[in-house]
A and B are shown apart, each in its own frame.
Chain A
Amino acid sequence: AQSVTQLGSHVSVSEGALVLLRCNYSSSVPPYLFWYVQYPNQGLQLLLKYTTGATLVKGINGFEAEFKKSETSFHLTKPSAHMSDAAEYFCAVSDRFSAGGTSYGKLTFGQGTILTVHP
């Protein structure tokens, strides 16, 4: 079964600093990869996804992530943090080829990383 690990349950940065949230997956076949964000008292919403093609993926709100097959990683970055980026971020994976040929859109989520942005 797929698994995904997010290194660091809490990350704290200053406003304007680089944001780096780490995600590693375990699979011999690279899965589909996603980052979701959860703002306080809200459900999750999609930030970006990698399915195929260019390994650097751009998402909403200035975030981007790079798929690195050799490192089995899909780290999320943003060059300059804003106070409004404070939220919990989840990396997620979906099997590229699942048993029986049907995935039904299931995602396996990481443990989550809470991002705090200081003024």
Chain B
Amino acid sequence: DVKVTQSSRYLVKRTGEKVFLECVQDMDHENMFWYRQDPGLGLRLIYFSYDVKMKEKGDIPEGYSVSREKKERFSLILESASTNQTSMYLCASSLYSPGHSNRGPPNELFFGSGTQLSVL
């Protein structure tokens, strides 16, 4: 069974702390994504990675960074946590679509269960 695992279900941190959210997938997927989910706003893409050590900014990268040292692991880093970063964070992965420079329809995203982060 395919699996995307996020290290913590609930996390409480203080303002100014450096926070690491970890995500591991066991499907050998090339693409990995970090979204945040807020009521009424849906999911918004923070960062994504299409290969080891490669990363691209999403729609709301400010205040975040990422690391992908190994194919199966994608980490989201909050350099200095703030209260407006209190949110549900979802990690996802998908298989690379070969051919036509990845222009074809995207493959299915597989999501983790999420990490509810509270910054006090």
Q: Provide 22 A-B residue pairs closer than 8 Å at the C-beta atoms, listed in order of the A residue.
A: A9-B40, A43-B112, A44-B90, A44-B92, A90-B42, A94-B105, A101-B100, A101-B101, A101-B103, A102-B50, A103-B102, A104-B50, A104-B102, A105-B94, A105-B102, A105-B107, A106-B45, A106-B58, A106-B106, A109-B43, A110-B42, A111-B40
Could you say which residues of chain B place their CB within 8 Å of the CB of A108?
A: 45, 59
| Cα separation A94 to B106 with both chains bound (whole Å) | 7
A90 touches B108 (CB 8 A): no
- What is the interface of chain A, defined by CB distance below 8 A to chain B? 6, 9, 32, 36, 41-46, 49, 51-52, 90, 94, 97-98, 101-112
- What is the interface of chain B, defined by CB distance below 8 A to chain A? 4, 31, 33, 35, 40-45, 48, 50, 56, 58-59, 90, 92, 94, 96-97, 100-103, 105-114
For B9, give the chain A residue with the smallest CB separation.
A41
- Write the nearest CB–CB distance from A65 to chain B, whole angstroms: 15
B4 touches A102 (CB 8 A): no
| Cα separation A35 to B16 with both chains bound (whole Å) | 37
Known A-B contacts A43-B114, A44-B90; the reply to A105 vs B109 at CB < 8 A is: yes
A103 touches B103 (CB 8 A): yes
Q: Give the contacting residue for B97; candidates A49, A101, A105; CB below 8 A.
A: A105
Known A-B contacts A42-B113, A43-B111, A43-B113; the reply to A103 vs B106 at CB < 8 A is: yes
